[in-house]
Structure 1
Amino acid sequence: MIFYDCSTAPNPRRARMFLAEKGLSPETHDISIAKGEQLDATFLAVNPRATIPVLVTDTGTVLTENLGIAAYLEAAHPEPPLMGRDADEKGLVLMWNSIVEQQGGAPVAEVLRNTHPAFENRAIPGPDHYAQIPELAERGQARTARFFDLLEERLQDSPFLATDHFTLADISAFVFVDFARVIKMRVPEANTATLAWQEAIRERPSSQL
């Protein structure tokens, strides 16, 4: 396998953590978004959509989305199970992962990409140019705060997001919560269940990569 990573971006970190939890160490190439290396011809030959992460499987299949990468790795390396142990858990993991992407990852990205100078005319990932929209940043901040509340409501009743054990949904949520620091937002001190969950995941070796 060949893994195309970016050490500073949240979505590649999700795949990096999933690989680590599976005990896998593929050949890895770090692609710097800050330097615009995702737009270089060499990388575009691998992924014309200019997004990271990318996993090239042993048979040469190119996977360019976290869910596809996770599904492949889970099927090829089923232990430990990170996408559910039975039909109900599999549904819950994908449900919560989708909630996290839409309610957590998307609003954080809205704020960052519509405010940071580095993303001027690059407000949406990919090869095309899109102008920043300040109003989206304002909305993203409000949505991120609501996401923190959503997590707290769930984690008050469950040690992990989707099931009673660590899964892909926890990886996604942890990465987005941690990445929210770039928009100067943190889990409120009153959200004790979320803070305990976050601290427990920080102790996992995969979170330290």
Structure 2
Amino acid sequence: MIFYDCSTAPNPRRARMFIAEKGLNIEKRDISIAKGEQMSEEFRTINPQATLPVLVTDDGLTLTENLGISAYLEALHPEPPLMGRTPEEKGQVLMWHAIVEAQGGLPIAEALRNSHPAFAHRAIPGPENHAQIPELAERGLARTRKFFDLLEARLQQNTFVALDHLTLADIAAFVFVDFARVIKMRIPEGSMATRAWHDRIAARPSARL
């Protein structure tokens, strides 16, 4: 297998953490988004959508989304379980993963890509150019604040986001919380449950990759 990574971007980091938590050693190739290498003709023969991460399996299958990559690796290597064991657990993990992506990941990306000069005409990932819309940046900031509130409320009730142990949902939430620094947002001062959860995950070896 070959894993196409980018050391500075949040979505590849999610896959990188998942791979590390599984204890897998997969050949890695770093693609620099800062240098625009994802837009190269060579990389677009691998992923025409010019996005990362990408996993190419031993059978030549190309997987380009975190959920697909994670589901594939979980099926091959079910231990430790990062996507649940029972039908109920699997449902909860995917539900919370979807909530975290929609309420956290997308608003942060919306705020960043519609405000930062580096993303002028690149407001949406992929091969097509799209103009920035400042109003979407403001909406992204407001939605990110709500995401921090949602996360704190959940973590006051549960040690981890979905189940009683680390799962795919925690990995996604952790990466998004860290990445919120690019829009100058951090865990709110009074969010003690979120801080404790973040500190536990930050201490894991996978979080330092």
**TM-score of the pair, normalised by structure 1:** 0.99
C-alpha separation in 1, matches of 2:89 and 2:58: 28
Residue 126 of structure 1 corresponds to 126
Residue 25 of structure 1 corresponds to 25
Q: Are 2:53 and 1:53 aligned? A: yes
Residue 112 of structure 1 corresponds to 112
The letter for the 2-side match of 1:76 is L
C-alpha separation in 1, matches of 2:112 and 2:9: 12
Shift of 1:85: 1.4
Number of residue-to-residue matches in the alignment? 209
Shift of 1:58: 1.2
C-alpha separation in 1, matches of 2:54 and 2:37: 14
Shift of 1:207: 0.3
C-alpha separation in 1, matches of 2:35 and 2:117: 14
Query: Any stretches of 5+ residues in structure 1 without a counterpart?
Result: none
Q: After superposition, where does 1:164-183 map in structure 2 within 5 Å?
A: 164-183=164-183
The letter for the 2-side match of 1:67 is L
Q: Are 2:80 and 1:87 aligned? A: no
The letter for the 2-side match of 1:26 is I
- Sequence identity (%): 72
Shift of 1:114: 0.6
Per-residue displacement from partner, 1:129-188 (whole Å, max 9, x unpaired)? 000000000000000000000000000000001011100000000000000001000011
Q: After superposition, where does 1:95-110 map in structure 2 within 5 Å?
A: 95-110=95-110
The letter for the 1-side match of 2:50 is A
Residue 153 of structure 1 corresponds to 153
SS in structure 1 at match of 2:55: strand
Query: Any stretches of 5+ residues in structure 2 without a counterpart?
Result: none
SS in structure 1 at match of 2:153: helix
Per-residue displacement from partner, 1:59-112 (whole Å, max 9, x unpaired)? 110000000000000000110000001110000000000000000000000011
Shift of 1:189: 1.2
SS in structure 1 at match of 2:141: helix
Shift of 1:196: 0.2
C-alpha separation in 2, matches of 1:66 and 1:144: 21
Residue 201 of structure 1 corresponds to 201
Off by >3 Å, runs of 4+ in structure 1:
none
C-alpha separation in 2, matches of 1:8 and 1:181: 13
RMSD, aligned CA: 0.4
C-alpha separation in 2, matches of 1:145 and 1:9: 21
SS in structure 2 at match of 1:98: helix
C-alpha separation in 2, matches of 1:115 and 1:138: 9
